[in-house]
Structure 1
């Protein structure tokens, strides 16, 4: 079963997602320049909301390069209790050796080569392994340094150590019951066995109309400057645009179940509860997700105006082609809503709707009745909208 979420959301002056030059991201679509918000930015905004929409801390994940620092802090006696504030050198050495035996190389700052997506219990598992094998890990680290100084081939010793640590690495990188890894997937460059196929696909949001980026010229004055002294003490520019975006994401519940519970033959009641809460969290978080770029200076904190959800047995329809020709002039939200619904109906009529289990539509500004939306597919509130979707999933 697949859930699709289509949203129309208008933002005033904003720079939600910047490129390398600090300008709002954009894309040419249908021969016109459009505003764009990357899928990565939207996923990050949604992930940050998971604790607010029904997921506990142990059910989410961290994206980090700092496993060594976190685990070493747990190993250092008295840290944060009036004693040392940073992990000791010996504790760093122990964790460094453990991570190397698991196949993860570290840079000069003891950071992993790339961001690792791990469950929040990974640090505790790593610290426990280091605590239980402290003496051996210290000895292995000393031997490694001696081999390095002597410039000897250490391939055999390293392979054996890696084999010994494999099960621990599997436990630390176990993605089961970590909802955001199950939803958005994971790629581990050094070991494909730890890769996770995403259960949720998220499109880049694009504006339904053409946009032109603008810039704000600002100045600032030193509050303690003498009264007779004129001129600004800082000047600069901030780029921004304003746009109505079409957002699309889908969720494959079968893949989500496999990611959360592995090959478990028959999930128990707690597993089913986690699956339901993960689905609800995904739906509610993406509806509420707003990227954080330049929000302190622009406060573009709007909510979606039009929401369309589809529950289907298989397949998926991104409705971006409803806006292949940019929406012109005024009344952008109303025209965008009309186009999105008409395009959905055209696809429904041509390809058939036998796979559709449920459709839910809500709009704050458009008359859904006049648009021809069936009464049983309309929702007058967010709880009613999400209820239509999640009720079908429960059934």
Structure 2
């Protein structure tokens, strides 16, 4: 049975520059023939991972880390060993798993590993310290393979199983040299787009030198920052069965992951230029739909952009447009047993559509109970 847990958020940000392009301007996109503000999916995923860590929503052993500095992480866990000898042992163990280190000690590309995978590598090195060849990264690939005991090679490759890291299970990973350990993402995250047309704005700023002389009347520094303010539609879909499979069929961990993700996606706010703008604005609406057929994004509710109206907030209008469009879409494509849960601060979502929560903790609890019941069927 297909179980897709969808998240539909309406979130208004005050003037800000949360996600910049290569020129420093807020990212945008043309949608429905109109320019919209945009926050990239990669930016949102990182904000979700940061929120999960900041609010301690998951045990540390069930988190992942994205880094090129795997050698340094392992050396920290091998601090009781001689440093130079440990470097050689680390290089040999990673080589056995198919991972290479460059001359600066970093991996060739960013690795997305679970904390348990890192710990398991350190344990493997400690256990087979005397059997691991020294300086494996300085030998040819052929020589390194010949010098490595076959049992260690087998164990090293088996360690890359995802380590029950929830963020790895959610967002997946691809290791070009080791396709066998790739993880297909259980969660897809859309680029957030504004529900209305947006124009870029410019902040011309000056800075005064606190120690300037009396005859220095000009600014010590001048510049400009681009920014915007927008009401965003955010969407993500989580394949519950895929998440459970990625977590090695650990049902309880899958349930706690759903709860953690529900809270993290609500609290996720990108950090770009926050010291300049402090746009800490939580969502006005969070809708969670459990789909039994196929996922249904509601982005096209805003193909025709919402227009400002006197006495009516853009967030309120956006929720209304989304509710109307969802009814039309659901009539044609939704399964009869699809369900909605929601938290609505605008008062614009149809009360007959789903089970209303009055707070984020209550919404998280309702989502957990719903998924728990469905997994038990």
| Superposition TM-score, scaled by structure 1 size | 0.86
Q: Is the partner of 1:386 in helix, strand or coil? A: helix
Of stretches 119-128 and 106-115 in structure 1, the one that deviates more from structure 2 is 119-128
Q: Partners of 2:134 and 2:83 in 1: how far apart? A: 17
Deviations 1:368-394 (A, max 9, x none): 4xxx43075333333443343222212
Matched, 1:225 2:225: no
Residue by residue, what CA displacement relative to the aligned partner does 1:173-229 show, whole Å, maximum 9, x if unpaired?
221421111111111110111011111111010000111111212222222222332
CA gap of 1:121–1:389, structure 2 versus 1, over 3 A, is closer
2:316–2:348 CA contact under 8 A, matched in 1: no
- State the match for 1:130 in structure 2: 125
What is the correspondence of 1:346-357 to structure 2 with a 5 Å cutoff?
A: 346-356=328-338
CA distance in 1, matches of 2:94, 2:344: 51
Instruction: Report the equivalent of 2:66.
Output: 63
Do structure 1's residue 381 and structure 2's residue 359 form an aligned pair? yes
Q: Deviations over 1:248-305 (max 9, x none)?
A: 011111001100015xxxxxxxx43322211100111101111111111111000111
**Per-residue Cα deviation, 1:125-183 (whole angstroms, up to 9, x for no partner):** 22222233334434463xx74x66xxxxx636536639554333334422142111111
Q: 1:179 aligns with which of 147, 166, 187?
A: 166
Over 3 Å counting, the alpha-carbon distance change for 1:380 and 1:126 in structure 2 is closer
Structure 2: gaps (5+ residues): none
Note if contact 2:62-2:163 (Cα within 8 Å) is conserved in structure 1: no
Indicate the residue corresponding to 2:252 in structure 1.
Answer: 273
**Matches of 2:281 and 2:298 in 1, distance apart?**
22
**Which residue matches 2:36?**
34
* Structure 2 counterpart SS, 1:261: coil
Cα deviation per residue 1:64-86 (whole Å; 9 max; x = unaligned)? Answer: 111111212332338xxxxxxxx
Query: For 1:386 and 1:296, how far apart are their aligned partners in 2?
Result: 30
In 2 relative to 1, CA 375–239 (structure 1 residues): closer, same or farther, beyond 3 Å?
closer
Spell out the pairing of 1:1-395 with structure 2 (5 A cutoff): 1-51=3-53, 52=55, 54-77=57-80, 88-139=83-134, 141=136, 145=138, 155=142, 157-158=144-145, 161=148, 164-261=151-248, 271-330=250-309, 331-356=313-338, 358-368=339-349, 372-374=350-352, 377-395=355-373
Structure 2 CA distance, aligned partners of 1:137 and 1:242? Answer: 57
CA distance change for structure 1 residues 321 and 159 in 2, over 3 Å: closer, same or farther? farther
1:25 is displaced (CA, Å) by 0.7
Name the counterpart of 1:83: none
Distance 1:138 1:329 in 2: 68
What SS class does the counterpart of residue 137 from structure 1 fall into?
coil
Instruction: Tell whether the 8 Å contact from 1:310 to 1:389 is kept in structure 2 after alignment.
Output: no
Aligned to 1:151: none
Instruction: Give the C-alpha shift of residue 333 in structure 1.
Output: 1.5
- Judge conservation of contact 2:92–2:144 (CA < 8 Å) in 1: no
